[in-house]
Structure 1
Amino acid sequence: MSYELKHVFASLPQMERGVAKVLGGDPKGNNFLYTNGKSVIIRNIDNPAIADIYTEHPHQVTVAKYAPSGFYIASGDISGKIRIWDTTQKEHLLKYEYQPFGGKIKDIAWTEDSKRIAVVGEGREKFGAVFLWDTGSSVGEITGPSKVINSVDLKQTRPYRLITGSDDNTATFFEGPPFKFKFTLAGHSRFVNCVRFSPDGNQFATAGADGQIFLYDGKTGDKIGSLGGEKAHDGGVYAVSWSPDSSRLISASGDKTVKLWDVGAGTAVTTFNMGADVMDQQLGCLWQKDHLLSISLSGYINYLDKNNPDRPLRTVKGHSKSIQSLTVHKNEGRTYIYSGSHDGHINYWDAETGENDDFLGKGHSNQVSKMVVDEADQLVTCSMDDTVRYTNINKKEYSASDLVKMDVQPKCVSAASGGLTLAVCIEQVVLLKDKKKVFTLDKLGYEPEAGAIHPGGSTAAVGGADGKVHLYSIQGNTLKEEGEALEVSGPVTDMAYSNDGAYLAVTDERKVVTVFTVADGYSVKSNFYGHHAKIVTVAWSPDNEHFASGGMDMMVYIWTVSDSDRRIKLPDTHRLHHVSGLAWIDEHTLVTASHDASVKQWTVKF
């Protein structure tokens, strides 16, 4: 019995309005990287469905950059920790860890020999440090700025120079090593968001919240000029990135455009219009070999097309907030994975290629708590916005009419043949038929937590906070209590019938999975123990002989019904985050989703 990781469908960058996002690129031009939560995400630039996730930071990571050698990555978090780790091994072994100052790290830069590192951010006594990568000993002082430093860069040719951009509206120029303050550049009227040297070291650019981009001599720090005359952009400029030949650069702005500049002429060659919505503000960019990338406030990663500036070559979508629900569905021979997140966003993924998109139109406005596909190829979802939605997965578009408003917040949905849906809500159980409410049970005497309809459509099981499973027979359009409730170890957290309807698996807060045999009057078949914390989700394999459970202990177990001692343990499926959703593509492929906003596929052998 074994398992291995088959695919990682990574999260998008975590974005914040008005805050620049730093993108890193590897020196060979194959990968780019960014951060989300406690994760550093490395993606292949030609095929972004190929991804790797580094999750060793105990705090939220804010920035990560490759060493010019390509062998190491330095990543910094909100506590002020810098971790330098290996990129060549799958394990990403930690090489060094430093704490240059206490507070959020906002940017990192390496010298071209990969020996010195500069870091800046929101320190208490100081806002930056520059040190040797292997000993941590200082190679100069970053003094001058009086407020948070947002950006830093090091000239990639000798003699070395260092520049910073700060919230005090200035850029600061240093000579070294050891790096010493030389002078302050006070051209900007608002925060300086980004400073970057050209690859040949001859110039550097500073970009500010005032919409200005200034150019300076890389060696002396003398001002050369500005881009775009009066103003480069109508909104704040959050990021700039140079072309490999140092003749051009791209800039990303809150005015929802990215501009490509001819640096010598000081004029914009191309303006990429990224949309009209607030979420289309551009907060980061990267020029990596032939690829021009920008990041929208939505977290979407845009591959810009110089020949068609109004339409990106591709847009990488996904989740930037924690995933709360998951299901899979086969359609015309292909399997699709559907995932719903904390912000109401639903994404669908081609299980083989990782190609993904979201539905068109306006969907849920709050957390998508549970999802299931019914026999009519509709994705049935329930959300904290107090609705149950039916979305045709072939049309891939939300419909305003296929929305059922609930009296109270739904927690769980289950579907069965005959157009039936069971919605378990706060203090209510609702039966729906053909997208309409037909029966509501309230005054239950217990708090319902989870529910499942038998595949045959004859019985509805509802698990309560009272540690019991209440069975109801579905008679026409009504639910009728069956009598005795089934006892489990603690408050029910999730439940599911096997696909053939033979078994009912129930998970609870006391870390136990109880499986009942349906045909035998719901007698207990077995109890399954192993989790160290509350179990939150359960899913049956198509073979009806195995099922998976995921818990707050970040573990996934795959159990064998006939032998409760035969199990596969997947530790750290989503390291430092608990698993929030499970689904099976086939009897040897399990899909997991988590609060780290990523989806993973695992190959399992029994």
Structure 2
Amino acid sequence: MSYELKHVFASLPQMERGVAKVLGGDPKGNNFLYTNGKSVIIRNIDNPAIADIYTEHAHQVTVAKYAPSGFYIASGDVSGKIRIWDTTQKEHLLKYEYQPFGGRIKDIAWTEDSKRIAVVGEGREKFGAVFLWDTGSSVGEIAGHFKVINSVDIKQTRPYRLITGSDDSCGAFFEGPPFKFKFTLPDHSGFVNCVRFSPDGTRFATASADYQIVIYDGKTGEKVSTLGGEKAHDGGVYAISWSPDSSRLISASGDKTVKLWDVGAGTAVTTFNMGADVADQQLGCLWQKDYFLSVSLSGFINYLDKNNPDRPIRVIKGHSKSIQSLTVHKNEGRTYIYSGSHDGHINYWDAETGDNDDFLGKGHSNQVSKMVVDDTNQLVTCSMDDTLRYTDLNKKEYSASDLVKMDFQPKSVSVAPGGLTLAVCIGQVVLLKDKKKVFTLEGLDYEPAAGAIHPGGSTAAVGGADGKVHLYSIQGNTLKKDSTTMEAKGPVTDMAYSNDGAYLAVTDEKKVVTVFSVADGYSVKNDFYGHHAKIMTVAWSPDNEHFASSGMDNMVYVWTVSDADTRIKLPDTHRLHHVSGLAWIDEHTLVTTSLDATVKQWTVKF
């Protein structure tokens, strides 16, 4: 019995309105990287479905940059810690860890020999530091600013020069090593968000919230020109990235455009219009090989096409907030994974290729708590916005008419053939038929927590906070209470019938999964012990002989119904968080989602 990781569909960058997002590029041109939560995400630029995730920071990571050698990555977090770790090994072994100052790190730069590192941000006593990568010894002082430093860069040719940009509306120019402050660059009237040297070191650019991009001489720091005359954009400029030949650069702005500049002429060659919504503000960009990448406030990563500036070649979608629900569905021979997140966003993924998109139109406005697909190819979702939605998976578009408003917040939803839906809400159990409420159970003597309809459509099981499973027979459009109630070991957290309807698995807060045998009058088939904390969710394998459970202990177990001692333990499936969703693509492929906003597939062998 074994398991191995098959696919990682990574999270998007974590974005914040009005805050620039730094994208890192691999010097060999193969990968790009960014941060979300406590993770650093490395993605293949040709095929972004190939991803690797580094999860060793104890605090939220804000920036990560490759060393020019390509062998190491330096990443910094909100506590002021810098970790330097190996990129060549799967384990990403830690080489060094430093704390140059206490506070959020906003940008990192290396010298071209990969020996010195500059770090800036919002420290308490100082806003920046330059040190040797292998000893942490200081090689200069970053002075000259009296507010947070947002950006730093080092000239990649000798003699070295270092530049910074700050919230005090100034840049600063340093010579070294050891790096010493030479003079202030006073040409902006707003926050300086990004500073970058051209690869050949002859020039550098500064980009600011005052809509301007200023070009300077790389060696002397003298001002050369401004791009676009009076202003480069109609909004704050958050990021710039130079072309490999140093003749052009791209800039990303809050005016929802990215521009491609001919630096010598000072004019924009191409303007990429990214949309009209607030979420289309452009907060980061990267010129890597022949690719222009930009990042929208939504977290979407855009591959820009200079031959068709209003339509990106591809847009990488996904989740930037925690995933709370999951299901899978086969359609025309292909398997799709559906995931719903804390912010109401639903994404669907091709299970093999990782190609993904979201539905058209306006969907849920709050956390998507549970999702399931019915027999008419409708995705049924329940949300903290107090609604149930039915979305046609062939159209992949939200419908305003297929929305059912609930009296109370729904926690769980399950379906059966014949248009039946069971919604378990706070203090209520609601039976729906053909997208309409037909029966409501209220005034219950227990708090309903989870529900499941038998695949045959004749029985509804409702698990309560009282540690019992209450059975109801579905008679026409009503629910009739059965005399049978089963005991779980504690307050019920989730439940699911096996696909053939033979078993009901019930998970509880007391760390036990109890499987009941339906044909034997719901007698206990087996109790499954192994989790060290509350169990969150359960999912049956298509073979009906195995099921998976996940708990607050970050563990996933795959169990064998007939033998409670035969199990596969998947520790640290999502290292930082518990698994929030489980689903099976086939009897050997398990999908997991988590609060780290990633989707993973595992090959499980019995």
Regarding TM over 0.5, the answer is: yes
Residues of 2 paired with 1:100 and 1:551: CA distance? 37
Q: How many residues align?
A: 606
What residue ranges of structure 2 are gaps of 5+ in the alignment? none
Corresponding residue of 2:555: 555
The residue that corresponds to 1:306 in the other structure is 306
Q: 1:12-27 alignment to 2 at 5 Å? A: 12-27=12-27
Partners of 2:172 and 2:466 in 1: CA distance: 63
Q: 1:347-391 CA distances to partner (integer Å, 9 max, x unpaired)?
A: 000000000000001110100000000000000000000000000
Could you tell me the percent identity over the aligned residues? Answer: 88
TM-score by length of 1: 1.00
Please give the alpha-carbon distance, in whole angstroms, between the structure 2 residues aligned to 1:603 and 1:570: 11
1:291-317 CA distance string (max 9 Å, x none): 000000000000000101000010000
- Structure 1 residue 397 corresponds to structure 2 residue 397: yes
> What pairs up with 1:74-153 in 2 under 5 angstroms?
74-153=74-153
- Partner deviation per Cα, 1:254-302 (whole Å, 9 max, x = no partner): 0000000000000000000000000000000000010000000000000
Q: The residue matched to 2:200 in structure 1 has which SS?
A: coil
Please give the residue correspondences for 1:438-587 in structure 2 after superposition, counting only pairs within 5 Å: 438-587=438-587
Match of 2:253 in 1: 253
The CA deviation string for residues 147-198 of structure 1, in whole angstroms up to 9 with x for no partner, is 0000000000001111110000000111000001111001110100000000
Q: For structure 1, which runs of at least 5 residues remain unmatched after alignment?
A: none
Counterpart in the other structure of 1:70: 70
Partner of 1:362: 362
Aligned residue number for residue 154 of structure 2: 154
Aligned counterparts of 2:370 and 2:588: Cα–Cα separation in 1: 23
2:402 and 2:415 map into 1 onto residues whose CA distance is: 15
What's the CA shift string for 1:199-248, capped at 9, x where partnerless?
Answer: 00000000000100001111110110100000000100000000000000
Please name the residue that 1:234 is paired with.
Answer: 234
TM superposition shift of 1:475: 0.5
- Aligned-pair distance for 1:453? 0.3
> In structure 1, what is the equivalent of residue 349 of structure 2?
349
How far the C-alpha of 1:489 sits from its partner, in A, is: 1.1
Match of 1:597 in 2: 597
Runs ≥4 residues deviating over 4 A:
none
Q: For the aligned residues, what is the CA RMSD?
A: 0.5
Report the alpha carbon displacement of residue 115 of structure 1 after superposing the two structures with TM.
Answer: 0.5
Other structure's SS at 1:430 match: strand
Alignment partners' CA distance in 1, 2:31 and 2:243: 16
Shift of 1:483: 1.5
Partner of 1:61: 61
- The residue number in structure 2 matching 1:5 is 5
Aligned to 1:43: 43
In 1, Cα distance between the equivalents of 2:95 and 2:460?
55
Q: SS of the residue aligned with 2:484?
A: coil
Alignment partner of 1:193 is 2:196 = no
One-letter identity of the residue aligned with 2:337: I
> Deviation at 1:133?
0.5
Shift of 1:485: 1.6
Q: Which amino acid aligns with 1:214?
A: V
Distance 2:577 2:11 in 1: 13
Q: Distance in 2 between matches of 1:194 and 1:387?
A: 43
SS at match of 1:484: strand
Which residue of the partner structure matches residue 418 of structure 1? 418
In structure 1, distance between residues paired with 2:508 and 2:182:
64
In structure 2, distance between residues paired with 1:467 and 1:210: 60
CA distance in 2, matches of 1:563, 1:138: 61
| Whole-angstrom distance in 2 between the partners of 1:231 and 1:462 | 62
3-state SS of the aligned residue for 1:328? strand
Tell me how far apart the structure 2 counterparts of residues 205 and 597 of structure 1 sit (CA, whole Å). Answer: 34
Q: Which residue of 1 aligns with 2:34?
A: 34
User: Partners in 2 of 1:509 and 1:128 — Cα distance?
Assistant: 47
Q: Note if 1:175 corresponds to 2:170.
A: no
Amino acid at match of 1:83: R
TM superposition shift of 1:484:
3.4
Structure 2 CA distance, aligned partners of 1:142 and 1:292? 31
Tell me how far apart the structure 2 counterparts of residues 570 and 122 of structure 1 sit (CA, whole Å): 39
Opposite residue 255 of structure 2, the aligned amino acid is D
- SS class of match (1:123): coil
TM-score relative to the length of structure 2: 1.00
